[in-house]
Amino acid sequence: MRLFYALVPDIETRHRIVETQLAIDADGRKVSADKLHMTLVFLGEVDAERLSLLTGITNRPDLPEIELVLDRIGTYRSANVLWLGSQEVPLSLIKFRQELFDQLTHGGLPSDSRPWQPHVTLYRNLRTRPRTLPTVEIRWRPEDYRLVQSEITDAGLHYRILESC
């Protein structure tokens, strides 16, 4: 199973992110509203035995009260992705994410060790970077984080929430 922990926007925040996505109208594949998220820790392929370790964690860190301000749009050229992020990520979120990452890796679970770059992907398969980008400021107060399974089927990519934390 391909798994990751993520912050998933509430309905109002998701709506504002989609408005920003539509205002950009980039030459690429839009990420659908139901798949918008900010990855905290990418675990990759995890077998069913290890999944029970994830769902059995009882001392999982609590998400602190934070306010993210999504006010930065950028691209990852090597991945052909256009994203929405924050100019300043709250220190409490950085510490929380590191605590979650450490807990998972010390528990023997695989985790992506690349530097964390918090963002919400808006477009994939970006062909060209838009000439102009809108000014944006979306305030988001995540209330929980989720363990998500990414499934590729004949109908496309699907996300299934396995647990809310």
CATH number for the domain harbouring residue 117:
3.90.1140.10
The pLDDT score that the predictor gives to residue 135 is 93
- In terms of residue numbers, what domain contains 53? 2-164
Q: Which residues share a beta bridge with 139?
A: 69
Q: Give the separation between CA 165 and CA 58, rounded to whole angstroms.
A: 10
**107-133 burial code (b ≥16 CB/10 A, e <16):** eebebeeeebebbbbbbeebeeebeeb
Element (H, E) at 102: helix 91-106
pLDDT digits (tens, 9 = 90+) for 105-156: 887 777 777 889 999 999 999 998 888 899 999 999 999 999 999 998 888 8
pLDDT digits (tens, 9 = 90+) for 26-44: 999 999 999 999 999 999 8
Instruction: Identify the CA nearest to 82 among candidates 116, 42, 127.
Output: 127
Give the residue numbers annotated as catalytic, written as ranges: 37, 119
The pLDDT score that the predictor gives to residue 56 is 61
pTM: 0.93
Q: Give the separation between CA 60 and CA 57, rounded to whole angstroms.
A: 6
pLDDT digits (tens, 9 = 90+) for 59-117: 678 999 999 999 999 999 889 999 999 999 999 999 999 999 988 888 777 777 788 99
Cα–Cα separations (whole angstroms), residue 17 to 21, 63, 91, 123: 6, 22, 23, 12
What is the tally of structural domains in the chain?
Answer: 1
The pLDDT score that the predictor gives to residue 57 is 62
